[in-house]
Amino acid sequence: MNLELWRTNSKIPDNLVDSHVSEIKKSVLPFRNMWSTFELLGKKKSPDLIFAEYYESILDVVVSDFGIKSRVDKLSFNYWTQVYGNKARHSEHDHLSGATLFSWVHFIRPTKEKCFCFLDDERRPYFPEQNAGDFIVFPEWALHTVKPNTSGEERVVIAGNVNYGMMNRPDGENTVICKITKCLNDTLVIQQESIGNAKHWKKQIQWDNPLN
């Protein structure tokens, strides 16, 4: 059950990884021996911002290879780092939001034992290749989990999503509109609508890149 849509390998230098992990541990508190910058999404103080141009260049190739770069308006992406200490894990989940085109994970410093896996309906795992530098793209609805880290070493990954504000169909009809509103309690309200006159609605869509 291979749910990979796209794959490449791009390694981040060890010294940069070391400094990044150090900054993360200064910025967030661990939960069950895992440090995550997910809570810093959209904040200018996030240590992850140093990789913005790096991931933008990779994801630009992805959307081009998928044939959607010229069809999507208000394209944006977000990402976060996860540092797994001893026995740290991540319960099964997906990235489905209604505004996401696809999701991805970059295995920055994986352990010898594979921890990341996809799950089918019967919760049977499928472990993709996850060597240092492996970057894989998968459907946002794909159920996945991270098994406990029993390696005795820290495991580091960066994961993210690519989101859209509008998808143009080739015939100019039935354009899909996606609008997200962030409420005061940080709840995201997602509105989708299919229309025929895309130009009229383009002026009414607001989409803030979480990296700004």
Closest alpha carbon to 81 in 97, 56, 105: 105
Instruction: Please report where in the chains the tokens 């609508």 appear, as a residue.
Output: 193
Count of alpha carbons within 13 angstroms of residue 87, beta-carbon side: 1
Q: Divide the 212 residues of the chain into consecutive groups of 10 and give the mean pLDDT of each group.
A: 95 98 97 97 91 97 93 89 98 90 97 97 96 98 97 98 80 57 58 54 41 38
Burial of 101 (0-12, 13-18, 19+ CB in 10 A): buried
Residues 6+ apart with CB under 8 A from 16: none
Name the residue among 112, 109, 119, 122 with its Cα closest to residue 146: 119
Please give the pLDDT value at position 196: 58
How many CB atoms within 10 Å of residue 139?
A: 17
Under 8 Å CB-to-CB from 196, ≥6 apart: which residues? 172, 173, 174, 175
Q: How far is Cα 208 from Cα 76, in angstroms, rounded to an integer?
A: 8
pTM of the model: 0.84
Domains in the chain, CATH or no CATH each: 6-163 (2.60.120.620), 166-202 (no CATH)
H/E run at residue 21: helix 14-27
pLDDT in tens, 25-51: 999 999 999 999 999 998 888 999 999
* 8 A C-beta contact, residue 120 and residue 59: no
